[in-house]
Amino acid sequence: MSFYYWKQNFQLSKGQSDILAETNGQKLYVRFFDIKWNTKAQKPYPEAIINFRHNSAVPAITPVVFITNQTFEKLSQQGVDSLAIKCNELLKNLALKQKLHYKAVQIDCDWTVGTKDKYFNFLHSFKAHSKKTLEATIRLHQVKYQFKTGVPPVDRGVLMFYNMGKLSADLEEPNSIYNANTAEKYLGSLNNYLLPLDIALPVFSWALQIRANQVIQVYGKIGRAELSNTQNFSPTAQKDLYKAIRNFFTGGIYIKAGDLFKLEETDKALLEQAAVQLAAHLNKNEKRTIIYYELGNLNLSAFKAKDFEEISAYF
């Protein structure tokens, strides 16, 4: 069992350290930086580079690099090898500064049919230069349509079992983080996937701000506690839907009277449902890591160490 850590400033709170200790978390998957296409410079640039503020002992770390699909849409085939070299060098330097030793690297990119050749070439090149075990995130659609989207040339895949629906202003749309009906459409192909898979499960929630039938923004820091403040919001007849009753600012966010907030949460019951559904389509004899997304913003009042142990036991 492991956790992702996705915040730019790496600093574990006591509660986060306790969760790791209580779950015997042997590894953290830590986002080191993003690679995005810079339209002004017309080349890829690293962004949100990690800043280590935590000096005490942490478990073994697997660096994660998030790369936008647009990077590969814009990048020339000739630029792929150069990107792999620079990406590997930056990772090595960041780890060296912290005296971190890592055996594997995970690349997170939602590639498409149009970008698969460049992305897969990048993975080949990165593996050759880094000489590390290489992992790649896999979305559900990439499992179902593996012969169309291709299977990345890596040692292991990590199935992201979340973000299944569209962020929609339609109030009838189910939870976009996880819903069983959407998931079921993709799971039939899982046993035939051509890579060994670890599993990533969600432990995050968010609120969609809706104005004039449009999703204005998504906020991870506005949860049930904030929406239950009756000075600012009133619950509607629909479950998990709240309406702003005045104009105000919160945490630098402007909220207008009449704005709707659609709360999408994950809790232990939802995780259990997801685990039962997914485990039924996996080979129980295969050893795999269950990774929870993510520790940096984990609501410590919603999840306890034993919850993660019980959910992981389904696999």
User: Do 181 and 221 belong together in one domain?
Assistant: no
User: Do 170 and 296 belong together in one domain?
Assistant: yes
In a domain, residue 227? The reply is yes
Q: Which of these, 165, 166, 285, 248, lies nearest to 215 by C-alpha position?
A: 166
In a domain, residue 193? The reply is yes
**pLDDT at position 57:** 65
Lowest pLDDT segment from 120-124, 189-193, 228-232: 189-193
User: Do 157 and 250 belong together in one domain?
Assistant: no
User: Do 35 and 75 belong together in one domain?
Assistant: yes
Q: Which of these, 170, 179, 192, lies nearest to 265 by C-alpha position?
A: 179
For 176-281, strand residue ranges (E) read 197-202, 206-211, 214-219, 233-235, 241-244, 248-250, 253-255, 260-264
User: Do 100 and 190 belong together in one domain?
Assistant: yes
> With contact defined as beta carbons under 8 Å apart, do 35 and 45 qualify?
yes
In a domain, residue 261? The reply is no
Q: Provide the whole-model pTM.
A: 0.95
Give the helix ranges, DSSP H, for the chain. Answer: 14-22, 69-74, 79-97, 116-130, 140-144, 146-149, 180-187, 224-227, 268-279, 305-312
Q: How confident is the prediction for the chain on average, in pLDDT? A: 95
**pLDDT at position 196:** 96
> With contact defined as beta carbons under 8 Å apart, do 69 and 110 qualify?
yes
User: Do 237 and 114 belong together in one domain?
Assistant: no
User: For 216-251, what is each residue's pLDDT tens digit?
Assistant: 999 998 999 999 999 999 999 999 999 999 999 988
User: Do 230 and 136 belong together in one domain?
Assistant: no
Rounded-to-integer distance, Cα 293 and Cα 290, Å: 10
How many domains is the chain built from? 2
Q: Which of these, 295, 217, 201, lies nearest to 252 by C-alpha position?
A: 217
User: Do 293 and 156 belong together in one domain?
Assistant: yes
For range 15-38, the mean pLDDT: 93
Rounded-to-integer distance, Cα 255 and Cα 6, Å: 27
Domain that holds residue 228: 211-255
**CA max distance for the chain:** 58
User: Do 226 and 94 belong together in one domain?
Assistant: no
User: Do 142 and 222 belong together in one domain?
Assistant: no
Lowest pLDDT segment from 7-11, 83-87, 115-119: 7-11
Give the helix ranges, DSSP H, for 75-112. Answer: 79-97
The CATH number given to whatever domain includes residue 39 is 3.20.20
For range 23-39, the mean pLDDT: 93
User: Do 239 and 271 belong together in one domain?
Assistant: no
Rounded-to-integer distance, Cα 244 and Cα 11, Å: 34
User: Do 57 and 176 belong together in one domain?
Assistant: yes
